[in-house]
Structure 1
Amino acid sequence: MQTEMLRKKFLNYFKSKGHTIVPSSLVVPHDDPTLLFTNAGMNQFKDVFLGKSKRDYTRASTSQKCIRVGGKHNDLENVGHTRRHLTFFEMLGNFSFGDYFKEDAIRFAFEVSTEVFGFNPDRIWPSVFEKDDEAFELWKAYIPEKRIVRFGEKENFWAMGDTGPCGPCSELLYDRGEKYGSAKNPYEDASGERYLEFWNLVFMQFNKLDPKTVEPLPKPAVDTGAGLERILSLSMDVDNVFETDVLRSLIAKIEEVSNVKYNPEDSQKSPAFRVIADHLRCLSFAISDGVVPSNVDRGYVLRKVLRRAVRYGRQLGLDKPFLKDILPKLVETMGNDYKELKTNESRIAEILTVEEESFLKTLKRGGTILNQIIASSKSHGNEISGEDAFKLKDTYGLPFEEIFLLAKDSGLTVNSKRFDELELEAKERSKQAHKASKQMASVNLFFEFLEKEGPTQFTGYNHISSDAQVKALVKDGEFVSRLNEGEEGLVILDKTPFYAEMGGQVGDEGTLVSKDVIFDVKDAKSPFKGVTAHIGKIEKGMLKINDSLIAKVNQERRQKIANNHTATHLLHWALEKVLGSHIKQAGSVVDDKRLRFDFSHHKAMTKDEIKNIEDLVNEKIRSNASVKSYEVSYETAQKREDIKQFFGDKYDDQVRVIDIDFSKELCGGTHTERLGNIGYFRILKESSIAAGVRRIEAISGSDAETFARMAEDTLEKAAKELKTTEDKLLSRIASLLEEEKKLNEKIKEFKNDKLAHVAEKLANHVETKSGIRFLVDIALIEPEDLKALADLLMSKFNLDVLAVGVKLFDGRCQVLSKISDKASRQSIKAIDLIKLISPLIEGSGGGKDLMAQAGGKSSERLQEALDKAKNHLVQTL
């Protein structure tokens, strides 16, 4: 596959230039609520560009999985109808974090374009920002001046937002020849079809303070992006990204599944092939990274993508679930480089099929509803309202074009103006849900501190106390020189045994003490990578910069946390054993009282599955195997399939492995030394927290023992209450249930006898007029038996009209009315009788023509109300 080869050659080139090859992050942004999906290579480095954190490397290269289906970068409606729009694509990129700048970035780009991509240098046209003379001069070393073009801010200046890092761009354009237009240069090529952009180099050299004010960054950075599929279309000399190897192989598979031949020139059917090929990639990568189609946020967007693929599939005669049949070809072509596709193949197939089946039912229902709307619209101005059209599109997935055509066929119009307004409102709501979050004001504070003092040394893997020196004190968000007795603040030390909250594990508690000082540590956090902040209060004395003290972690609490953290690793391993290899961690919380583990799975666990997991975990605990930890290079860890790592997590050059023989995970948390220290493990609860995401809450050690004893105590008390022993409790319960069943039968028999007796007495008051038999009276029964009595009276005594009331002990009353078909034909309605009765008994009621009922506050006037209903009935007859 040329895709695989070109991706590898690109990354190897930059590796040879000292770049760290960083794996693609998830298509779901790891820690950025401002993004719906990862849409650029720089997303995973955003915190570095913002000065919010540092990495162990200053230059990096990636091939990033990207999805563009929402917000500013929404290509969904274009996919299938243009030559280069995709919802899923790979972005090749190289990055410099204060290392090299324009000169090297331009040199790298030219060498890769000509030596790796194999492009003809005579057809490369660089563009630069109109005021960027430096970039213009640098390009002259590789490209004749006449082929270097200048553009304005709109085309060649990049900004992260209204404020923050920004800078000029240099785009590389490739002249595809006269076949794509007669323009002589990029200035004349408005469509961009002939001079196709294939790489963008962003030079972050300024910091935008406000829309009009910029200042130079102390350490300029480089961010580049080249779409792999677009590069391939140029290197393979095809005019369409869908003619590149991976996408074309998927189209061939669609031909096989649909038994329809693909013809790129067929404007009616060719878009369907392209839509399905692209959307399958988007869906498969998103699902493998933990997103599941749903009605909210990312899941809603994914559901839209799937439904679009299904609708286009119907154009090829695919009216049953078909995406799973194409999936194996995607796994075959991309699974070697993206192993998550292989790991999750069966799960992806299952979710796709369930969603397709659901949507096909929805389409059938939507078609029925559309017919109802058409019928209704014909009697209301011959127009389908914007609200109805939007509902059909948003709820039932019918595209506006299809609604419009069906309306036209029925001689109707569609209120497209109102439809557009509702679409705009929906988009605005989506934007509001993903508004950019403000950066923490304290970030720059710690950035400067780290530059000066260096990182806090963590000694807590092997020690729970250590000598330390105070390096900084923070109060109310500002550095201070001292903290006085009674004051709260943050203490930063040169070294510490305190684990700062990270990776789901809570921070340690303890004390910082010296001869004259006690600082009570309530929590430990890392406000900036490399900095550990001890959060608490001065209980005694005063702390100053450079003071020496002893940092002591609460040992008992730390041990419980360590036990629970190791138990979480065991739980993860057991889940994979019982449920399958598709299990993917979606979050965790570990503290001294419990552990919580979120994971991707599409259905609730059974009781047997939960028991099996508990058994597996406890079996490993009893083995008392040792828990080893060691460091390896991240590059080594990536090559080892036995080490579990989490796509999207950010790792340093050296990573820590927690090794329990059968379970190996990259993890920076604290763990117990032997599994036996955990003691005992119990699952408290398994539940759903989102579509396709489950949560397990569990406990270990003494907390699990207490839980088990509570269950035993409950069992003992139950046995005592039922006057039996614990071993005979189930048989005693079975016996009581049998007794209850017999008693209920006797009660039912007694009630039936009583109702029959009451009915016989009431039958003496049955009257007849004009051939209609009717009864209006009060019954001495329980209110819950009212309906049963009414049914008995109507059937046994052939009544046509019945209105029977019951008085309650608290002064309230109830009335029920039933009408036969015979009486109904004479325009007698149960609801009319109830409407007559309700006001007199200070109540309200409802129902239909043949049966209605009411409840009232005044039972004293029940007889009066019934008499009124009876008189009305007699007059009617």
Structure 2
Amino acid sequence: MKSAVIRKNYLTYFQTNGHTIVPSSPVLPHDDPTLLFTNAGMNQFKDVFLGKSKRSYVRACSSQKCIRVGGKHNDLDNVGHTRRHLTFFEMLGNFSFGDYFKEEAIKFAWEVALKVFEFDGDRIWPSVFEKDDEAFEIWKRYVPEKRIVRLGEKDNFWAMGDTGPCGPCSELLYDRGSSYSTASNPYEDASGERFLEFWNLVFMQYNRLDAKTLENLPKPSVDTGSGLERVALLKQGVDSVFETDVLRALIRKTEEVSGVRYKEEDHTLAPAFRVISDHMRCLAFAIADGVAPGNTDRGYVLRKVLRRAVRYGKMLGFEKPFLASVLPALVEEMGQDYPELQANAGRIAEILTVEEESFFRTLRRGGSILKEVIERASESTKTISGEDAFKLKDTYGLPFDEILLLAKDQNLQVDSLRFEELEEEAKERSRGQKKTHQQIAGENPFEKFLHEKGPTQFTGYQELTSPAKVIGIFKDGSFVPSLSPEEEGEIILDKTPFYAEMGGQVGDRGSIASESLSFQVTDCKAPYKGVISHLGKLQSGTVSIGMEVTASVDAGRRVKIQNNHTATHLLHWALENVLGKHIKQAGSVVDDERLRFDFTHHKALTKEEIRTIEDLVNDKIRENNPVKSYELSYEAVQKRGDIKQFFGDKYDAEVRVIDIDFSKELCGGTHTSRSGNIGAFRISKESSIASGIRRIEAVTGSAAENFGRESEDLLETVAEKLKSQPQKLLTRVLGLLEENAGLSKELKELKREKLDLAAKDFAAKAETVKGIAFVAEKAPVTSADLRPFADALLEKMRSGVVVLGVDAGEGKCQLIAKVSDDIVKKGIKASDIIQKIAPIVGGSGGGREQLATCGGKDASKIVEALNEVAGILEKA
């Protein structure tokens, strides 16, 4: 049974049993900073399990794309060398949000195992948490008691974090037979090879308040996960996940591209095929979902994955990019079920190739770096430093074990302790995990407030002024009964026209007032979903709970924000039309002065592309299309391909659509009523903010007009300075450049002649010590010309030693020493001379036998340092 069939049959079974099929969320968890990558099927339902949001369904199922290659789940170095470890896998799951519980979950699992997966029921061993008698009794209906295993908290109790939802687990283990182990039950099977876990049922029935306190959840839930690759392994009767249909197809493609045959029993080359098949799949899905290799966070981890694949590829003979050649096999195998692979295939291939080319160049440089590291260690401490070892592994992909072997061959040691410290620091960077209020129940004081007072009603779509009642006042971290004049704080109203900062749109400003008070609102935020807080300062009067007030938004500022927000939607639409459907929003800021839009794209935009984008947006502005908004069920939106939604964002059961006919997006922000109100649109800047992420900054309306005028003013000012007319400025500038090039050439020639004459004069002053000619003088040149002058002088002398000093300004100086090859053979080295005289000028330096330099902090001691040279040569 092929993997695609297993996936389809699994989802169909649960759909017929009342579950809503929910598409896989992307591997990039946009809205969850606690996760590096999506690593479980329940990630996208996290807030539902926490009770902080609701869906239109209470039963769901999915096949979730997962990446485990950082943080808590990091088995990267094992991938390729074991039968089961993967960086990318699919997690089949069924979920109950307060609907069914243990009895139904176990019944579903048993039926799927027997009827969908078609497993032999006599070979299934369920495990339960040692204290979960309820699950034990339910399983007795399906299997003999002797095949039900009780395990401890480490194996069979699941928790989302140190606090929050948690509960016992029940795992399904499949007995693969005595050929995998002599163990007669799971207790004895330490490796887990014979009794292979293929499904885990999590019964979320508690909320952990602290290390010792559990309370019952009001609505217990179910979260299950079954690894598709493991099920395929069992169904297809193979020993390793790499022998299952999808990964085996990628290995076959790698054989074809490399010309090397894959042999499972070949412990030298087989791991390379496995690594390439897994890592390429991981990279392809990550890039399709908007992540790209880079230097920080998720990008840093992906770059490590790619470089590991390249390093193993070299074992198969690859000396140039090859991953893109394997990609078509993945698209063929999984593209139908994951269309994002098909849509982004060209972009994925391009990014992979660019990254591989860069790393192959790095590896070529790494060969010489390794040689330098060994030579440096051999000449000094006989130890390769932890920093050098880490650089060789992290930057050049050389495994630490190989570094140890190379060191042993050269009779060198390695500073393993320092290496491990740097490794741990790198792991911390890759984890990138932060604690947020989502992990700590009851941490946010506004959560309790919402429970007691209810949500704030937002009226700002329809009006900018509204009567309201003060229901909360927050100051210095706690709720207070009132504010006095000149005090700063936050006011919460029962209803408000103020838009709270969200979705990239800044918060409104304005005032909250009555006959007896005036509160200036400087910002508006949502400290907790459902609560709108007005930040500002009480200018006069006293405000207290229960007072009737009027909330008024700064109308002029709101109009500009609305225009910029609608222009952002037009920009997104234009980017897709010009650059391609792979464009995904990666962040935005909309305020009254400008808009900023971050998006996934792998290279800088050309001037022609920027102009085309501007033209498309301005064309739509001139069409003056109506901007409509309406609500739909999120379930209905998911079935429509024409409404843009941002993967990873959390949506309620009812969602708001901004519809400009050609552009439809889910958006809770405020917008203008017609596109023509925007007036004009200009891109002010396009730049890179991270690998694979570009940023566009733009202005609209009068700001766009002013942007054009500023360019005109600058052009006129430059033309005036150059005594030309704007239309003739290019000809004038080209002429000046040509003239400047000629003058620069003349200047260089004059400088060369001057240096040559000075070198000739200095060569004539050369002294002799023990038959060695030398010059040790202050040089009549600048710091920039010190090296060329030393070269010219030694060339004139042909044989000897040159030591020069120059005042570098601000009390600092530079020294340089050059020694001809024949003098080096006599045992006199430039590096030795510099090391001896550098302390005199308060500096340190180094270099090679023929050339060495140093920077000093005391220019007044240059002559004193140079006077030491004769003595150094005398003693040599």
| TM score, norm. by length of structure 2 | 0.86
Q: 1:739 to 1:284 in 2, by over 3 A?
A: closer
The offset of 1:597, in angstroms, is 1.4
Q: 1:727 to 1:423 in 2, by over 3 A?
A: closer
**Structure 2 CA distance, aligned partners of 1:584 and 1:619?**
22
The answer (yes or no) to whether the contact 1:472–1:545 under 8 Å persists in 2 is yes
The offset of 1:484, in angstroms, is 5.1
Which structure 2 residues correspond to residues 385-400 of structure 1 after superposition, within 5 A? 389-400=389-400
Residue 433 (structure 2) aligns with: 434
1:691-730: CA deviation from partner (whole Å, max 9, x where unpaired)? 2222222222222222222222222223333333333333
The offset of 1:88, in angstroms, is 0.8
Residue 117 (structure 2) aligns with: 117
**Which SS does the other structure have where 2:655 is aligned?**
strand
The answer (yes or no) to whether the contact 2:164–2:440 under 8 Å persists in 1 is no
The offset of 1:416, in angstroms, is 8.8
**Structure 2 CA distance, aligned partners of 1:863 and 1:375?**
35
The offset of 1:324, in angstroms, is 0.9
The offset of 1:470, in angstroms, is 4.2
The answer (yes or no) to whether the contact 1:594–1:698 under 8 Å persists in 2 is yes
**Structure 1 CA distance, aligned partners of 2:806 and 2:849?**
21
Structure with the greater alpha carbon radius of gyration: 1
The answer (yes or no) to whether the contact 2:755–2:789 under 8 Å persists in 1 is yes
Residue 706 (structure 2) aligns with: 706
**Structure 1 CA distance, aligned partners of 2:536 and 2:873?**
85
**Structure 2 CA distance, aligned partners of 1:86 and 1:784?**
54
The answer (yes or no) to whether the contact 1:604–1:688 under 8 Å persists in 2 is yes
Residue 561 (structure 1) aligns with: 561
Residue 664 (structure 2) aligns with: 664
Q: Which amino acid aligns with 1:683?
A: I
1:57-105: CA deviation from partner (whole Å, max 9, x where unpaired)? 4443332211112233222233223332211111122333334333333
Q: 1:772 to 1:95 in 2, by over 3 A?
A: closer
Q: Which sits farther off after the overlay, 431-440 or 205-214?
A: 431-440
**Structure 2 CA distance, aligned partners of 1:688 and 1:132?**
53
**Structure 1 CA distance, aligned partners of 2:480 and 2:186?**
57
Residue 7 (structure 1) aligns with: 7
Residue 206 (structure 1) aligns with: 206
The answer (yes or no) to whether the contact 2:594–2:699 under 8 Å persists in 1 is yes
Q: Which amino acid aligns with 2:347?
A: R
The answer (yes or no) to whether the contact 2:803–2:815 under 8 Å persists in 1 is yes
**Which SS does the other structure have where 2:42 is aligned?**
helix
1:718-747: CA deviation from partner (whole Å, max 9, x where unpaired)? 333333333333333344445555665676
Which structure 2 residues correspond to residues 295-444 of structure 1 after superposition, within 5 A? 295-370=295-370, 389-404=389-404, 410=409, 412=411, 415=414, 418=417, 421-422=420-421, 425-426=424-425, 429-430=428-429, 433-437=432-436
Give 5+ residue unaligned stretches, structure 2: none
Q: 1:807 to 1:544 in 2, by over 3 A?
A: closer
The number of aligned residues is 875
Residue 94 (structure 1) aligns with: 94
**Structure 2 CA distance, aligned partners of 1:190 and 1:797?**
77
Residue 688 (structure 1) aligns with: 688
The answer (yes or no) to whether the contact 2:54–2:653 under 8 Å persists in 1 is no
Which structure 2 residues correspond to residues 427-466 of structure 1 after superposition, within 5 A? 429-430=428-429, 433-437=432-436, 445-451=445-451, 454-466=454-466
**Structure 1 CA distance, aligned partners of 2:140 and 2:126?**
10
**Structure 2 CA distance, aligned partners of 1:597 and 1:433?**
24
1:574-628: CA deviation from partner (whole Å, max 9, x where unpaired)? 3333333332221111111111111222233333433333333333323333333
Q: Which amino acid aligns with 2:67?
A: I
Residue 582 (structure 1) aligns with: 582
Residue 242 (structure 1) aligns with: 242
Q: 1:451 to 1:736 in 2, by over 3 A?
A: same
The offset of 1:288, in angstroms, is 1.9
The offset of 1:232, in angstroms, is 2.5
Q: 1:146 to 1:520 in 2, by over 3 A?
A: same
The answer (yes or no) to whether the contact 1:24–1:648 under 8 Å persists in 2 is no
**Which SS does the other structure have where 1:396 is aligned?**
coil
Q: 1:12 to 1:517 in 2, by over 3 A?
A: farther
Residue 175 (structure 1) aligns with: 175
Q: 1:745 to 1:111 in 2, by over 3 A?
A: closer
Residue 599 (structure 1) aligns with: 599
Q: 1:628 to 1:751 in 2, by over 3 A?
A: same
Q: Which amino acid aligns with 2:458?
A: F
The answer (yes or no) to whether the contact 1:189–1:195 under 8 Å persists in 2 is yes
**Structure 2 CA distance, aligned partners of 1:856 and 1:235?**
73
**Structure 1 CA distance, aligned partners of 2:111 and 2:354?**
48
Q: 1:428 to 1:261 in 2, by over 3 A?
A: closer
**Structure 2 CA distance, aligned partners of 1:320 and 1:20?**
46
Q: 1:517 to 1:51 in 2, by over 3 A?
A: farther
1:496 matches 2:510: no
The answer (yes or no) to whether the contact 1:618–1:680 under 8 Å persists in 2 is yes
**Structure 2 CA distance, aligned partners of 1:190 and 1:871?**
74
Residue 274 (structure 1) aligns with: 274
Q: Which amino acid aligns with 1:272?
A: A
**Structure 2 CA distance, aligned partners of 1:400 and 1:807?**
46
The offset of 1:330, in angstroms, is 0.9
**Structure 1 CA distance, aligned partners of 2:620 and 2:435?**
45
The offset of 1:375, in angstroms, is 6.3
1:650 matches 2:653: no
Which structure 2 residues correspond to residues 651-800 of structure 1 after superposition, within 5 A? 651-740=651-740
Q: Which amino acid aligns with 1:342?
A: Q
Q: Which amino acid aligns with 2:6?
A: L
| TM score, norm. by length of structure 1 | 0.86
Q: 1:216 to 1:741 in 2, by over 3 A?
A: closer
Residue 26 (structure 1) aligns with: 26
**Structure 1 CA distance, aligned partners of 2:549 and 2:269?**
75
**Which SS does the other structure have where 1:40 is aligned?**
coil
Which structure 2 residues correspond to residues 473-484 of structure 1 after superposition, within 5 A? 473-480=473-480, 482-483=482-483
1:192 matches 2:198: no
Residue 573 (structure 1) aligns with: 573
**Structure 2 CA distance, aligned partners of 1:865 and 1:415?**
38
1:639 matches 2:618: no
The answer (yes or no) to whether the contact 1:390–1:422 under 8 Å persists in 2 is no
Q: 1:236 to 1:456 in 2, by over 3 A?
A: farther
The answer (yes or no) to whether the contact 1:64–1:91 under 8 Å persists in 2 is yes
**Structure 2 CA distance, aligned partners of 1:749 and 1:313?**
51
The offset of 1:126, in angstroms, is 2.4
The offset of 1:442, in angstroms, is 6.6
The answer (yes or no) to whether the contact 2:301–2:430 under 8 Å persists in 1 is no
Q: Which amino acid aligns with 1:553?
A: V
**Structure 2 CA distance, aligned partners of 1:820 and 1:106?**
84
Q: 1:254 to 1:769 in 2, by over 3 A?
A: closer
The offset of 1:366, in angstroms, is 3.5
Residue 71 (structure 2) aligns with: 71
Q: 1:478 to 1:21 in 2, by over 3 A?
A: farther
Q: Which sits farther off after the overlay, 757-766 or 684-693?
A: 757-766
